[in-house]
Amino acid sequence: MTLNHSQASLTISLYSLCLKCEFFTEQRQNEERVGYQRFQQVAAVRPVSNYYHSTPTYLVDGDPHFLIELPERDDALCFNINDKPGTIFNLVRDPIPGILVNGEIIGDKMIPPDGQINTYFWRFGIVHQSLGVRLEVSTQDIVVLQDGKQVKLLWSDNASVKGTNVDLLLTKDRSLTVTLKDSVKFVVLLHKVWAKHPYHQDYLGFYTLDSHLLSPLVHGLLGQFYHGIEYEVSELRPGEVPEKPDATMYVKGRELNVTRGWQRDFRKDVKNGENVPCWFVHSNGTGLIDGDATEYVVSGLFKTQCQCRGSSVSHPCLHRGESCCCGFVFASFSQLRRKELWWFLAEMIRHRYLK
């Protein structure tokens, strides 16, 4: 693969940005220079089939409860994210195919007597840039936009829509299954609440059924776990509630206090759900998720942002349309082997800029 002048300039620009944002530390810099010299060969020898194949289920439902089911360990991890109504969180983003999933939370109709306002996801934005697909799923309706054509569905429908790049299966007042060609499969569940309930409103749950074709750079509140996660739990001890013992979790070089509890998976029973035992990580998942929960807040349902040392970065080569096509998340890079980082930079050149 031979790069022309503009492509070589872009390569250097990406490399410089990685240095500026400390994707490479001083201790690794010499090794990275060796990798840079081999940069042109990486894209040619890195096959797509080497993507990590994941079998777990990843979901967010309820107030918002995040659940990472790990069947190979017969275990699960869970955490809650609390914020004010109207906040939009990034759940999934993969810069290689340009996949983005954001969700907006809504609060109770009014403050309950106990003063505790519950929040839930009520709207999701789903984008696949490479396929030209864009969906907005709310508690009211589903809007699909592809190649300038728009289709609107109501939750009161039973429908099956098969397109070139996206398949939709809508089960009346229950669920929407979204299959994006050669990439990922999601299910959105609708939770109906009695219309005259004084406090609660209808809300949505989001479930990832198949993510094995997503790249190693996928991230977000849910997406970061598509890579798998290593952890150990020990020092089991009594908790505040007898049936919910505490323990110490060792994960990502940290030592966390966790509590044994359960969250509900509503896929089989959308009304009552199924209890799934899990290790609950307190304080908005601090220590389990990369960074802080506030770093996943975005400005719009179809927006993302690049962060560099805690500040927003706008770089002309990093944007394509409404989304940041590189989707730089520094914690993701810290999880990658050096060859995967160079492969990513090569893929950015090959897929986005060789045309």
Q: What confidence tens digit (pLDDT) does each residue in 55-105 have?
A: 467 888 877 899 999 988 999 999 999 999 999 999 999 999 999 999 999
- Whether 171 maps to a domain, the answer reads yes
Say how far residue 244 (Cα) sits from the centre of its chain: 28
Predicted local confidence at residue 199, as pLDDT: 78
Residue 30 tokens, joined: 């010499």
For residue 317, pLDDT over 50 is answered with: no
Predicted local confidence at residue 340, as pLDDT: 55
Mean pLDDT of the chain: 78
For residue 50, pLDDT over 50 is answered with: no
- Whether 95 maps to a domain, the answer reads yes
Q: Is 23 exposed, middle or buried (0-12, 13-18, 19+ CB in 10 A)?
A: buried
> How many beta carbons lie within 10 A of that of residue 83, not counting itself?
17
| pLDDT tens string 161-217 | 998 899 999 999 899 999 998 889 999 999 998 888 877 899 999 999 988 889 999
Task: Determine the residue type at 311.
Answer: S
Confidence of residue 48 (pLDDT cuts 50, 70, 90): very low
Output the CA–CA distances (angstroms, integers) from residue 69 to 73, 148, 228, 259, 275, in the order listed.
9, 37, 10, 16, 12
- Whether 345 maps to a domain, the answer reads no
| pLDDT tens string 236-295 | 999 999 899 999 999 999 999 999 999 999 988 888 889 999 999 999 999 999 999 999
Predicted local confidence at residue 37, as pLDDT: 38
- Whether 18 maps to a domain, the answer reads no
Half-sphere exposure of 124 (CA within 13 A, CB side): 26
- Whether 15 maps to a domain, the answer reads no
Identify the domain containing residue 269 by its residue range.
56-334
Predicted local confidence at residue 253, as pLDDT: 95
- In the numeric block, the tokens 């009014």 are attached to 110
Predicted local confidence at residue 204, as pLDDT: 97
Most confident listed range (111-125, 149-163, 315-329): 149-163
- Whether 8 maps to a domain, the answer reads no
Structural domain count, the chain: 1
- Calpha distance 204→136 (Å, rounded): 12
Instruction: Provide the sign of the torsion angle of the four alpha carbons 328, 167, 131, 42, taken in this order.
Output: positive
Predicted local confidence at residue 58, as pLDDT: 85
- Whether 322 maps to a domain, the answer reads yes
| pLDDT tens string 152-162 | 999 999 999 99
> For residue 318, which of 287, 339, 295, 345 has the smallest C-alpha distance?
345
- Whether 81 maps to a domain, the answer reads yes
For residue 352, pLDDT over 90 is answered with: no
- Calpha distance 18→348 (Å, rounded): 13
Counting every residue, how long is the chain?
A: 355
> For residue 326, which of 343, 342, 348, 346 has the smallest C-alpha distance?
348
Contact at 8 Å (CB) between 99 and 208?
A: no
- Calpha distance 151→159 (Å, rounded): 12
The pTM for the full model equals 0.74
> How many beta carbons lie within 10 A of that of residue 102, not counting itself?
26
